[in-house]
Amino acid sequence: MKNPFCLTAVYKTFDGGELQADIRVPYAKEGKPFGVKCPVFIDIPSEAGLGMSYSINKKHSEDLVHRRRYVVVSPEYRALEPAVDSSLKAPIQDCRDLLAWIYDSGLQQVLDAEHPGLYPVDCDRVYASGISHGGLLALSLGWDVPRPVAGILAVAGPCHFSDDRWKASQETTSGLSSQQRHSDPKSLGLDAAPNSSIFDVTMSEDDDQLSSEIDPVMHVHSSFPPVFIVHGTKDEMTPAGAAAGAGRCELAEVEGAGHLFASTLRESPEATKQVSRGVDFLTSA
């Protein structure tokens, strides 16, 4: 039976294909509107497909939807091609197209088709969050877009590709198999599709132009959205130091945590606390 509070909609078509987004909305008592506009929380998975891994766990997601009354949108996007630098542009463009779809009333039309008049979208409060690769995609909604998001929560995401520590981390992980890089239960906490992670793509030393196009820290400017970064101090994929450097930014470190720790938040009260701080940071931005 279809759940009217969990919707799926196509937000982009390309070359005969299409990309969808999961949409979760708060319960409306007796079908009555809340009387206020609903903020939007774009929660970008670390992998390309729908229903993969989210940057916030179920507890935080339920809190956003039902207590804070946010509309939560989680998109699928095109996967990366291993060792092809330029393929990083595809998922970035997909997420930017999702943002444009929201601002151009695409999300509102989907909500009105299912729940006429119940969920007016607040386009002044559209936020983005992502974990790992999704963190980079969330950050990409802060520059080279006609209208950036209002705030960004990046969890264990790469933010500074020109940092020597990022290059060193790539060298460390380049000898590991895809399975080891993504599904070490002691550090990652989830399985991942082998062709969709930024850690399968090695930046070419002579491709400075691409790096400058996708490197978040190179695009920080006076109008860049507020950013809250959560990072583990023992992240073997993306060094914590490389996460710092954004403009109006707060960095919260989780002592002893490895990469993708947010997928197992229940095992770490400190991780839960810091991600909660990040959600509060966004919703008050």
- Rg of the chain in Å (alpha carbons): 18
Q: How many CA atoms lie within 13 A of 73 on its CB side?
A: 29
How far apart are alpha carbons 24 and 69 in whole angstroms? 10
How much is the pLDDT for 272? 79
Delimit the domains of the chain by residue range: 6-283
Q: CB within 8 A of 103, min separation 6: which ones?
A: 123, 126, 146, 147
Contact yes or no for 280/67 (Cβ under 8 A) = no
Contact yes or no for 42/2 (Cβ under 8 A) = no
Shortest CA distance to 54 belongs to which of 169, 177, 156? 156
Phi, psi of 183 (to 5 degrees): -130, 25
Shortest CA distance to 211 belongs to which of 160, 136, 135? 160
How far apart are alpha carbons 85 and 46 in whole angstroms? 18
How far apart are alpha carbons 285 and 280 in whole angstroms? 8
Q: What is the pLDDT along the chain (285 residues), one digit of tens a residue?
A: 567 789 999 999 988 789 999 999 998 876 777 778 999 999 998 776 665 445 555 667 778 888 889 999 999 998 866 544 556 788 999 999 999 999 999 999 999 999 999 999 999 999 999 888 888 899 999 999 999 999 999 887 776 556 555 454 444 444 444 444 443 333 322 233 333 455 544 454 445 555 667 777 667 777 789 989 887 777 766 655 544 444 578 888 887 776 666 555 555 778 778 888 888 888 886
SS3 (DSSP) at 235:
coil
How far apart are alpha carbons 222 and 214 in whole angstroms? 18
Q: Are strands 17-24 and 121-131 parallel, antiparallel or unpaired?
A: unpaired
Q: Model pTM?
A: 0.80
How far apart are alpha carbons 213 and 228 in whole angstroms? 21
Contact yes or no for 88/201 (Cβ under 8 A) = yes
Strand partners, 252: 230
Contact yes or no for 27/113 (Cβ under 8 A) = no
Contact yes or no for 157/139 (Cβ under 8 A) = yes
How much is the pLDDT for 176? 45
How much is the pLDDT for 276? 85
Strand partners, 20: 10
How much is the pLDDT for 1? 52
How far apart are alpha carbons 243 and 64 in whole angstroms? 25
Phi, psi of 127 (to 5 degrees): -120, 160
- Encoding tokens for residue 20? 């969808």
How much is the pLDDT for 177? 45
Length of the chain: 285
How much is the pLDDT for 114? 93
Please provide the CATH number assigned to the domain covering 6-283: 3.40.50.1820
